[in-house]
């Protein structure tokens, strides 16, 4: 060994005469010996010893004996693990000696050695990276320490430690200690489950973090570490989304990520979807003006999230809606109120902050100025009817997913208004907004949008466009659908048309109604500043810009928006040219509206403008999307059109990148073509119906011959029936009885025949789709867990019942006729109660004896002779309105088990026992047994028939509805008879058509029934609910097994009913009914019928009891 070292020393001397030799030469022999002594201790590794000798003189020179001994000791300690490690320690150690304090240096070594013990390569990577890391001003211990977390896992994670150190050494300084820790930790956790993913994430994560602005990085780190702890596999996706979000530099984004981070520690999946929605939520704050608001509100969300992550996340998700509904100040108050109401921030708070509970909505409404649909529904319906003279139903727009649509529209049959009008200032302004929206939507009816006929268009002349191509072929009606179908790019034509027609309607309103004239003006002015920021639009391309300018023109904007000129010129070189072109474009767009101002402007004029603008736009934008090319030098009048060619198309690049202009608040999102279809369908049917009704023909009856005829015309009808779409037998298909004849008659003109055919087919398909006449209503639902209502939770769809030949229920008819006789007899016997005795009358049938005696006495005392000495018997005017609500759930279709053999068809009189009903004792055993094969529903039908005739007999107002449904978005209320209908035969057919459906969401059904009853003017109103089991539905409560939710909601609905002045009464044929009914209503408000077959007899008694 000694010889070896000497040899080496000689070699140094010889080979490095100038450098190393001189260093050794400058040493005293003692010093040199000292080095050799140290070197000798490296005797287990030649490589290490040589390396030591080579570097030692320099170290000695720079750091003295003490430094040298520390350095050597490091090397030796590392040597115990391996020579390779030792060499790396010695190499890095020189820098460490220079740069680090003694403690830090020790920590450096310990960290490295721990790493090396975990995985040798990690140690290498650590010591190799030490110098660059130190150069970046980072303590290597901090950097390496991060990698230690890899050793908490299995071998897969260990492997990653070195990779981590290698990859991060170069930019450890930029990442910083926190990032390193989080990156390592997330990688390590990920590695435990998904090795390959972890490796990938390592490099990706490092880059993402590196690319993220250090000021916003902590938020991302928070998110990542929370996710790593709860769901490591989601880390990469979370990182990507988070980094992308931060890269956009939105001011509130870091705070938003902190909200997500809080949620991620509890539920990473949910947090991920929240992260996904962050851009949208923040985008709802729109232009830069609202950023302060965004920052503040997101900050509030984060503050809340700090206490309860779900509540914070809920608030954050609600921000777009809150922002739309209220001002910052109002929202602040609303948040404070929520915290005050739910100090514990429990589930109630989550519901509150996600705007699901009624308290939340009510509170917000109290603070904000919006006008809810429910408040104005009737007023607006009447208003629309006043304007148009037509009964146009009004409906609230059903929610789309979780969000509430905010633009009004019409489907050609009814007007659809958003749940809330807001954002126009105070309540007064919002109300005006609702009124104008209603007038505008009704205007489509009033001013003939749906009377569009392409034939009238094709006979017009245009300098810009060949309109003859809009001549519909023979047999085609030139509807709006057909018209739009002429355009290769239909959506663009529709967009243009909406702007023109919207403008035309507005102008018509102004012309017709002096009072609306100023309203329209006012809204145009309100609407313009709300349009999207032109700076944003300009970046989307010339066509979106042109469309936006078109909408602004249609809102009466007179001058080219200044900001546009500024924005355009800042990016364009040739300022004057752009300015000129924009102004030309602006003027041209304006000129398009001129003809629509005329008093006689029709829908076809809007269509003409659409075609012309389309042609123009395709000419100038079709070739080049550059704004500058929009208008040629000679302008549009110099166009030459070739009639032979069809309408031009646009290049895919333009089509794909186009974004339609945002809708205008009061004009909404009506699809005129679809609405026209419905409108003309309704009109045609209405004509047929009234023509047939005038002839005394029931328009909904279909004979077999007609069915055969229909089948001939609609070959797919059978398939539909077979597929169960149309229903068994197909007899209820509402094809007018006269349709057959009409088809025959109209065969002369194929055009008309096809039109009629299509209408009938449309009606058929609507029946097939189960979307007959449906009116939508929103109702709240009581959530006992929240101790509050869930706001607008259920969508009730009111439909007209299907009809069926009553002959199918012959048995029901005969049974009910029998019972009816008894019931009427019964009513007759108790009839005296219907007579009221009026005393002290001026005239009357009898003398009021007591008054006369009194009078005689008075007279004798010299008093005046009173006049009112008679009494009169008057028929008491019954003033009762009753709604029968029938359970149509699937279970009502079950057959009742047969009872014994001794079933007798007996007409034994019903025992005269009113006290039965009074005391709710079960009826004595009925002598008549339930016949086989009858279902609960059959008996319910029987009861309905008895009841309806009994009530007719009494002359009482009544309505019959069935209910069923499937989930909260589909609670079906089936109208069998409303309070005004009086067509016994039709009602009979509808009763016959009742079929078991799906589930039983009672609460919503009761609320709708209550609403219907409260529109009646009777002095006494009652609701009789007939069911066969407890309320249930698939999402009736979050936990499906929790019956309590449904019961509690039903109970709440019943008490709302009482509060509305309606007397509810529940009859159930479910023997288990005692258990749950007593939890839903007081005992005098329900009755359990043990034997289903008694229902038809008991019901009239219940009724008598309730209403006498």
Binding site for another protein (CB under 8 A): 376, 378-383, 385-389, 391, 435, 439, 513-519, 842-843, 875, 877, 955
Using a 10 angstrom Cβ sphere, with 0-12 exposed, 13-18 middle and 19 or more buried, the burial of residue 79 is buried
Q: Considering the complex, state which of residue 429 and residue 519 has its C-beta at the smaller distance from another protein.
A: 519
Cβ count near 605 (within 10 Å):
19
Instruction: Find out whether 394 and 380 touch, Cβ atoms under 8 Å.
Output: yes
Q: What are phi and psi of 104, to 5 degrees?
A: -60, -40
**Minimum CB separation from another protein for residue 983, in Å?**
17
Q: Considering the complex, state which of residue 213 and residue 391 has its C-beta at the smaller distance from another protein.
A: 391
For residue 401, what are its two tokens? 């997913």
- Look at strands 957-965 and 880-887 and give their pairing: parallel
**Minimum CB separation from another protein for residue 594, in Å?**
24
Q: Considering the complex, state which of residue 383 and residue 920 has its C-beta at the smaller distance from another protein.
A: 383
**Minimum CB separation from another protein for residue 378, in Å?**
4
Instruction: Find out whether 777 and 970 touch, Cβ atoms under 8 Å.
Output: no
Q: Considering the complex, state which of residue 345 and residue 380 has its C-beta at the smaller distance from another protein.
A: 380
**Minimum CB separation from another protein for residue 843, in Å?**
5
Residue 410 is classified by DSSP as E
**Minimum CB separation from another protein for residue 1036, in Å?**
32
- For the CA atoms of 23, 28, 30, 36, the dihedral, rounded to the nearest 10 degrees, stands at 20
Q: Considering the complex, state which of residue 833 and residue 843 has its C-beta at the smaller distance from another protein.
A: 843
* Locus of tokens 């290049």: 651
**Minimum CB separation from another protein for residue 886, in Å?**
28
**Minimum CB separation from another protein for residue 956, in Å?**
12
Q: Considering the complex, state which of residue 14 and residue 514 has its C-beta at the smaller distance from another protein.
A: 514
**Minimum CB separation from another protein for residue 385, in Å?**
5
Q: Considering the complex, state which of residue 696 and residue 955 has its C-beta at the smaller distance from another protein.
A: 955
Q: Considering the complex, state which of residue 435 and residue 1011 has its C-beta at the smaller distance from another protein.
A: 435
Provide long-range contacts, Cβ within 8 A and 24+ apart, for 144-148. Answer: 144/108, 144/111, 144/112, 144/115, 145/111, 145/181, 146/177, 146/180, 146/181, 146/183, 146/184, 146/185, 147/115, 147/122, 147/184, 148/111, 148/114, 148/115, 148/118, 148/184
| Stated length of the chain | 1108
**The Cα angle at residue 568 between residues 566 and 571, in degrees rounded to 5:** 105
**Minimum CB separation from another protein for residue 363, in Å?**
24
Q: Considering the complex, state which of residue 340 and residue 980 has its C-beta at the smaller distance from another protein.
A: 980
**Minimum CB separation from another protein for residue 513, in Å?**
4
**Minimum CB separation from another protein for residue 1017, in Å?**
10
Which candidate, 957, 936, 935, places its Cα nearest to that of 948? 957
**The Cα angle at residue 528 between residues 523 and 532, in degrees rounded to 5:** 135
Which candidate, 77, 63, 61, places its Cα nearest to that of 28? 61
Q: Considering the complex, state which of residue 948 and residue 998 has its C-beta at the smaller distance from another protein.
A: 948
Q: Considering the complex, state which of residue 1019 and residue 1071 has its C-beta at the smaller distance from another protein.
A: 1019
For residue 846, what are its two tokens? 């009898």
Residue 1093 is classified by DSSP as G
What single string gives the DSSP state of each residue in 603-639? Answer: HHHHHHHHHHHHHHHHHHHTT---GGGSS-TT-GGG-
Alpha helices in 513-596 (DSSP H): 514-527, 534-538, 542-554, 562-571, 575-592
**Minimum CB separation from another protein for residue 888, in Å?**
29
Q: How far is CA 23 from the centre of its chain?
A: 80
**Minimum CB separation from another protein for residue 727, in Å?**
33
For residue 852, what are its two tokens? 């006369």
Q: Considering the complex, state which of residue 220 and residue 957 has its C-beta at the smaller distance from another protein.
A: 957
Q: Considering the complex, state which of residue 389 and residue 933 has its C-beta at the smaller distance from another protein.
A: 389
Q: Which residues contact 783 (CB under 8 A, 6 or more apart)?
A: 351, 357, 789, 790, 1037, 1045, 1049
């Amino acid at each position: 060994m000694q010889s070896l070292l000497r040899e080496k020393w000689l070699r140094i001397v010889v080979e490095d005469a100038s450098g190393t030799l001189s260093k050794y030469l400058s040493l005293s022999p003692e010093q040199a010996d000292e080095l050799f002594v140290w070197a000798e201790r490296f005797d287990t590794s030649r490589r290490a010893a040589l390396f030591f000798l080579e570097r030692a003189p320099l170290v000695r020179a720079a750091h003295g004996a003490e430094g040298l001994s520390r350095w050597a000791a490091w090397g030796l300690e590392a040597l115990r693990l391996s020579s390779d490690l030792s060499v790396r320690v010695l190499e890095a150690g020189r820098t460490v000696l220079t740069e680090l304090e003694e403690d830090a240096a020790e920590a450096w070594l310990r960290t490295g050695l721990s790493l090396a013990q975990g995985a040798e390569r990690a140690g290498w990577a650590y010591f190799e990276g030490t110098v660059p890391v130190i150069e970046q001003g980072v303590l290597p211990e901090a950097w390496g320490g991060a990698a230690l977390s890899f050793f908490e896992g299995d071998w897969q994670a260990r492997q990653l430690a070195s990779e981590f150190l290698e990859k991060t050494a170069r930019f450890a300084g930029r990442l910083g200690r926190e990032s390193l820790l989080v990156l390592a930790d997330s990688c390590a956790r990920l590695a435990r489950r998904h090795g390959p993913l972890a490796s990938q994430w390592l490099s990706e994560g490092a880059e993402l973090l590196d690319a993220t602005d250090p000021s916003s990085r902590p938020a991302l780190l928070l998110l990542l570490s929370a996710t790593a702890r709860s769901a490591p596999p989601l880390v990469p996706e979370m990182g990507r989304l988070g980094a992308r979000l931060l890269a956009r530099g939105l001011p509130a984004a870091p705070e938003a990520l902190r909200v997500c981070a809080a949620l991620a520690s509890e539920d990473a999946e949910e947090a991920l979807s929240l992260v996904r929605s962050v851009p949208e939520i923040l985008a709802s704050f729109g232009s830069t003006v609202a950023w302060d608001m965004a920052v503040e509100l997101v900050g509030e969300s984060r503050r809340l999230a700090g206490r309860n992550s779900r509540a914070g996340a809920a608030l954050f998700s609600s921000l777009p809606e809150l922002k739309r509904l209220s001002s910052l100040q109002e929202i602040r108050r609303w948040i404070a109120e929520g915290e005050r109401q739910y100090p514990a921030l429990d589930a109630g708070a989550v519901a509150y902050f996600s705007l699901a509970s009624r308290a939340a909505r009510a509170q917000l409404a109290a603070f904000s100025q919006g006008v809810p649909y429910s408040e104005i529904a009737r007023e607006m319906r009447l208003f629309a009817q006043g304007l148009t003279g037509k009964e146009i139903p009004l409906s609230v727009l059903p929610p789309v997913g979780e969000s509430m649509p905010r633009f009004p529209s019409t489907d050609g049959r009814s007007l659809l208004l958003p749940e809330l009008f807001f954002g126009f200032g105070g309540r007064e302004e919002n109300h005006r907004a609702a009124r104008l929206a209603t007038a505008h939507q009704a205007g489509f009816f009033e001013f003939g949008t749906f009377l569009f006929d392409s034939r009238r268009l094709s006979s017009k002349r245009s300098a810009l466009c060949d309109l003859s191509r809009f001549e519909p072929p023979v047999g085609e009606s030139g509807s709006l659908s057909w018209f739009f179908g002429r355009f290769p790019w239909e959506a663009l034509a529709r967009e243009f048309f909406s702007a023109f027609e919207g403008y035309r309607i507005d102008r018509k309103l102004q012309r017709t109604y002096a009072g609306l004239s100023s309203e329209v003006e006012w809204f145009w002015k309100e609407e313009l500043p709300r349009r999207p920021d032109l700076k944003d639009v300009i970046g989307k391309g010339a066509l979106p810009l042109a469309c936006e300018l078109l909408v602004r023109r249609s809102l009466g904007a007179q001058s080219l928006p200044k900001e546009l000129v500024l924005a355009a010129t800042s990016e364009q070189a040739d300022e004057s040219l752009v300015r000129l072109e924009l102004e030309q474009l602006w003027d041209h767009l304006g000129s398009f509206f001129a003809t629509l101002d005329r008093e006689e402007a029709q829908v076809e004029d809007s269509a003409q403008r659409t075609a012309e603008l389309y042609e123009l736009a395709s000419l100038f934008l079709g070739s080049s999307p550059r704004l500058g090319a929009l208008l040629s030098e000679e302008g549009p009048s110099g166009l030459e059109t070739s009639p032979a060619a069809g309408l031009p198309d646009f290049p895919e690049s333009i089509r794909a990148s186009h974004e339609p202009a945002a809708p205008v608040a009061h004009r909404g999102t009506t699809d005129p073509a679809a609405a026209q279809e419905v409108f003309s369908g309704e009109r045609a049917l209405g004509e047929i119906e009234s023509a047939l009704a005038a002839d005394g023909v029931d328009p909904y009856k279909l004979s077999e011959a007609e069915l055969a005829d229909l089948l001939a015309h609609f070959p797919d009808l059978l398939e539909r029936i077979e597929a169960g779409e149309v229903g068994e037998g197909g007899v209820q298909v509402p094809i007018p009885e006269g349709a057959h004849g009409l088809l025959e008659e109209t065969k002369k003109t194929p055009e008309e025949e096809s039109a009629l055919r299509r209408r009938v087919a449309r009606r058929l398909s609507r029946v097939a789709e189960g979307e007959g006449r449906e009116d939508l209503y929103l109702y709240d639902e009581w959530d006992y867990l929240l101790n509050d209502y869930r706001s607008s939770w259920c969508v009730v769809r009111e439909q007209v019942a299907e009809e069926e030949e009553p002959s199918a229920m012959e048995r029901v008819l005969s049974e009910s006729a029998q019972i009816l006789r008894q019931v009427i007899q019964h009513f007759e016997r108790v009839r005296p109660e219907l007579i009221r005795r009026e005393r002290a009358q001026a005239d009357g049938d009898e003398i009021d004896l007591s008054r006369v005696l009194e009078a005689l006495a008075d007279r004798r005392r010299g008093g005046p002779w009173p006049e009112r000495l008679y009494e009169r018997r008057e028929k008491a005017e019954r003033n009762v309105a009753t709604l029968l609500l029938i359970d149509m759930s699937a279970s009502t279709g079950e057959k009742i088990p047969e009872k014994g053999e001794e079933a007798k068809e007996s007409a034994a009189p019903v025992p005269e026992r009113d006290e039965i009903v009074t005391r709710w004792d079960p009826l004595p055993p009925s002598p008549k047994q339930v016949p086989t094969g009858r279902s609960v529903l059959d008996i319910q039908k029987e009861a309905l028939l008895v009841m309806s005739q009994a009530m007719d007999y009494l002359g009482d107002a009544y309505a019959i509805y069935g209910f069923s449904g499937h989930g909260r978005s589909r609670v079906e209320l089936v109208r069998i008879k409303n309070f005004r209908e009086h067509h016994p035969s039709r009602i009979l057919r509808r009763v016959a058509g009742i079929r078991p459906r799906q589930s039983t969401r009672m609460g919503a059904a009761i609320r709708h029934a209550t609403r219907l009853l409260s529109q009646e003017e009777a002095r006494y109103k009652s609701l009789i609910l007939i069911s066969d089991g407890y309320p249930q539905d698939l999402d009736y409560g979050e936990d499906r097994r929790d019956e309590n939710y449904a019961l509690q909601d039903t109970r709440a609905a019943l008490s709302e009913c009482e509060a509305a002045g309606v007397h509810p009464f529940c009859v159930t044929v479910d023997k288990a009914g005692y258990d749950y009914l007593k939890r839903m209503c007081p005992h005098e408000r329900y009755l359990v019928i043990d034997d289903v077959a008694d229902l038809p007899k008991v019901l009239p008694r219940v009724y008598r009891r309730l209403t006498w």
